[in-house]
Structure 1
Amino acid sequence: MAACARAATVSIFLFLTKVTLVTPATTPAPRLTENDCAVHTLPIEVLQQLMNSAEVILKNFDSGMAVQPEAGSSDAAVDGSATHILLRRMDSEQTELRRKVLHLEAELSRMKEGQESSSTTCHHHQQEINSSVVNQVQQLQEETRQVTDQLSAQVQQLQEEVKNQLFGLSQQVNQTLQVPVATSGRGLETQSDLDTRPRDCYDLLRSGRNESGIYTIYPQTCGIPGEGVAVWCDMGEKEVNEGGWTVVLLRRPLSTQVNFSRGWDDYRIGFGSPDTEYWIGNDVLHALTNRTTQVLRVDMTDWDGESRYQEYSSFHVADGDHQYSLRLGTGSGTAGDALKRHDNMLFSTPDRDNDTHDSVNCADSYDSGFWFYICKHASPTNPFMSKQKNKAGITWNTFHSDRSTLQSITFKVKPAVL
C-alpha cells in the first residue's frame, strides 16, 4: 500500500533528522493511526522541517564536512551512524599508526647516537639494525596511507549513498505534500483530486447541496480510492440549527423493520439502508470522528408525537483495536442526558461482551449492539416495539423514566463550529 511505503520512508527520514512527533498523553486511544493514513497527517510544518534538514545534510556532504551530532542528540541516532563509525575507525587507525611511527623514529634516533660511541666491530651490525628499523617505518607509513585511502573511499561511498537516498526522500516528501496533511482549521486539506469528494454531509452542504436526502460520502479518503458510504444527510430545512448533519443511526416505524440483533462484524462494517433504517458502521464512525471534533445530535419522538433532542459538544469513537470505545463531551437539550452513562464504554455485541456487567452480556440480553455498561440508560439499537413500557425496546430513560418505548430515534453528527 502506498501509504505504508511512505510511512516507512518518513520513519527513516525522521531517524536521520532526529525529528520527534509527540502524541498527547491525555488521548485515551491514539488518533490518526496507520489505518487512518497516518503518514498523510504529518503537520505541514514538520514536513517542511524534514526538507530543511535534508538540505543541510546535503550541503555538508557537498562541502566534504562530516555530519556532526547536535548538542543533546542521541548517540544511537547520530554517533552510531555508519558514517561516524567509519570516521572514528579511520581516526583511531591513523592515531595508532602515527604512534608506532614516532616510536620507531625515536628508536632509530637513539641507535644513531649509540652508533657514534660504539666500537668498529659493532658498526656493521648496527647498520643492519638501522636498516631494519627504517624499513619498518616505511612499511608502517605505507600501511597508514593504505588504511587512510581505504577508509576515505568507504566514507565517500557511504556519503554518496546517503546523498542519493536524501534526494529520493526529498522527492517523496514533495509527493506527500500533494495528499492530505493536518493543518489549522477544519479537518484535512489536500491538493489531490480524490479528496475533492465529500467526506461528510457538511462538505456537501458547503458545496451547495442544501436539500436533505440520500448522498454518498467518502469519510476514509486520505488520497486513496475507495468505496463511498450511502447516508441520509439532514440539510436543516426544518431545523433551528444549520444543516450538514450526517445521520449515523436511523430508527423509525416500517412495515418490515431492519434487524439490529447482529454480531461484531456487522456493526463494524454497517448494515441497513438510509431509505429504511441503518447503522453506518463503527469503522466509518471512527473515520468521521477521528478527523476532527464532531457534535452529536440525538433526535427522538415518542408514540404520543412529542419530540425532544439532546446534543453533545464532542463525540469520538476509537478504532477497532480499542474496541470502538466512546468519548462524549458536554450534553445539552430537552431529552435529558441518558447517553452520558455510556461515556467511556467499549462497544459490545451479542458475540463480543465488553460491558461492565459481572454476569450478563448486555448486548445478548437486549438483542443489539451498543456501548453498554450495566446495562443501559439509552437503548437506540434495541428491537423496535410499538407503544408500551418495555426496557427491551427503544428507550431513553431521561425522556421517559418508566421505560416507555420510542417511535423513532436518530443519531447524527457534523463538525463542531470553533
Structure 2
Amino acid sequence: MKSYFTFFLSFWLINELSATGAPITEIDSGQLTENQCNGDCFSVLKSVLYRNGQLEELAKKYEDLQNLKNQEEWKKELIDAQTREFDYQREVIKTLTGSIQSLQGEIKNRDSQISGQIEQLKNQIKGITKQNNDDKVKSLTETLKDLESRLEIMGSQVNNQTALIEAKNAEVVNLTLHNKLCTESISKITDDLLKCNRLDSCPSKGPSDIYKINLKEIGTFEAPCSSDGWLTIQKRFDGSENFHRPWKDYKEGFGNKRGEFFIGLEKLHVMTRERSHELYIKLGKVDGSTGYAHYDDFKIGSELESYVLSIGTYNGTVGDSLGIHRNQKFTTLDRDNDEHKELNCARSENGGWWYRHCSYSQLNGKFYKEGRTKDNNTNGITWGTWYVEDWTYSLTFVEMMIRPKTL
C-alpha cells in the first residue's frame, strides 16, 4: 500500500503537470510564476499545484494510518480528496476548452472585419479612379496601406494566439491524461481499502448502529449491525410492517431498517455465496421470556433456485424448529414453491417462508400483540418446539442475524 501511494500520489499528482513539454508551465523550486504562463491559465494551474500539494500531505498522513485510532476517517478523507481533485480537473478542462473556442472565434471575427474593410476600400478606390480624382485616390490608397499594415499586425497576433491555442490544447491533453490516472488511482485505492476493511459485512467491532454495506452485484444499502459484527436481516416487535407480501418484495427487501423489516433474499444470496455465514435467531414471548437458536452455517440459493435454504447444525434454548425447513424453497402469496399439494402455505400462514407442509416455524407470520392468534388461527409468528406445538401462540419479538464465519 505504501509503495503504491508513494508512486501515484508523489510522482504523478505532484510532477505530472510540471513534467509535460507544454510551454505554458515551468516549475522552479515548486513555484509557478505568472510571466511563465498566459494570464488566463495561470490562476488555474496555480490552484492545481496547490491542490496537488494538499494531496501529497494527505498521502503522507496515510503512511501513518496504521498507528492512528481514526484511520478509517483518514482513508475516507483521502478518497474524498482525490474524488474532488478529479471533479476539479474536469472543470479545468471545461474552462480551457471554452477559452480555446473563444480565442478561435475572436480570430475569425477580427480577420473577417479587417478583410471586409480592405475589400470596401478597394472598391472605393476603383470607383474614384474612374472619376479621375487623384487626391481621393491617393488618400484612400494610403488608408488601404494602413489597413494592410494593420492586417499584417493582426496576422502576427493571430499567429501568437494560434500558438497559445496549441499550448492550451496540449494542456487539455495533459489534464485529460491526469484525470484518467486520477480515475484509475481512485479505483485502485477503493479496491485496496475494501480489501483492508471489507465493506460487504458489518464491522467486527464498533458501536451498534445502521451501517452501509456494499455488494458488487447489489450496490450500497443500509443494514443494522451489532457491536460484535452481527447483521440483522429480519426483525419483528410491534406489528408496524406488513409481511404478507409478494415475491418481488421479499426478493428486494422491505420495511424500516430501524423498525420492522426484511433485508431481501437477493442480498442474502449474494452475501452467503461470497462467504460462509452463521445464523443467530433471537425470540421473545409476550410474557417477556426470551430464547435463541443458532445455526453454524447459513446459505441462500439464487433466484433460479427459488432462494433455497441451507443451514448447518443447531444449538440453542428454543429447539430446532427450522431444521425441518432445510433445503426448502421460498414461497410467497404469488409464488407457490412448497410441497403442500392442496394449498399455498404463504397464503394460509400470512407471510413468505421456506415452507414444506406447511411450517414448523414461521417468523414472517401475522403479528399479534396479545401473543395469541384469534379464533384459534395458526397464521401467527411461530416456533413450534418452544411452546409444545401450540400453534395459537404467536411470538412478539423476532430478530434474525447473520455473521461471516471468517473475517
TM-score normalised over the length of structure 2 = 0.50
Give the structure with the larger helix fraction. Answer: 2
TM-score normalised over the length of structure 1 = 0.49
